[in-house]
Structure 1
């Protein structure tokens, strides 16, 4: 069904509809999780942009600062350069870039993620609509099921 096949829902049995609903719910949960993960990543990239624009200037070059080692452990340090930063490009690789290049890099990443998030949001809405339709057909079949058997 994920290959784009169209099925007349009213021709399916209650058991098949339940199975289809379970599958759609699972897909919806996975897509929602992916959406949240992308949103979190985008927020981290925005934080990087903010850190570059606010935290790096000639005034902060020799001032002491706290460097995070973990989310709750910081050590004292000083800024080595206010014109160059190390950029995490993925899988543990870091590249030294000028602040301008780093800003461009993170701006592109945020824009790319925004496009992906919009596409994923449309897919999520479509899947949610599919779940609602299947639920409605299932509800109709369940409520009319005993009545149709009594008529026999």
Structure 2
């Protein structure tokens, strides 16, 4: 979800920063359901949310680079998490196999013990 949000930001920056969009009218979201009419004055500078409510003014290229780094970081972390999940799944399967083998051995030992008790009971 975050990755698609950052990718969308990059696409929006690339679109707005085109020369033909300078002076373009647009609607600016003031809340989830309230928009205010506005006009692009400088389409080469953007306010970028760098986290925890802090915004920094960046050029179009710097803003795209910022979001690209975020996407790259998310991709890297996603691969790391997938690797961890694979490793944990393998451990889980290995433990499950050992438990099954121990249960089979225990069942076999109990069967042998019951057969031996039957033989001893019939011999007595």
Aligned position for 1:132: 93
Unaligned runs of 5+ in 2: 114-124
Q: Secondary structure at the match of 1:96?
A: strand
Query: Over the residues paired in the alignment, what is the CA RMSD in angstroms?
Result: 2.1
Query: Does 2:71 correspond to 1:99?
Result: no
Query: CA shift at 1:93, angstroms?
Result: 0.5
Q: Deviations over 1:94-145 (max 9, x none)?
A: 1011111111111222222222222222111111111221222223333443
Aligned position for 1:23: none
Residues paired across the two proteins, number: 111
Aligned position for 1:109: 70
Give the Cα–Cα distance (whole angstroms) in 1 for the partners of residues 34 and 102 of structure 2: 60
Query: Does 2:36 correspond to 1:76?
Result: yes
TM-score by length of 1: 0.62
Q: Secondary structure at the match of 2:23?
A: coil
Give the Cα–Cα distance (whole angstroms) in 1 for the partners of residues 16 and 106 of structure 2: 66
Map of 1:3-152 to 2, 5 A cutoff? 40-68=1-29, 69-70=31-32, 73-78=33-38, 79-152=40-113
More contact order relative to length (CA 8 Å, sep ≥ 6)? 1
8 Å contact from structure 1 (residues 64, 76) kept in 2:
no
TM-score by length of 2: 0.73
Give the Cα–Cα distance (whole angstroms) in 1 for the partners of residues 92 and 13 of structure 2: 43
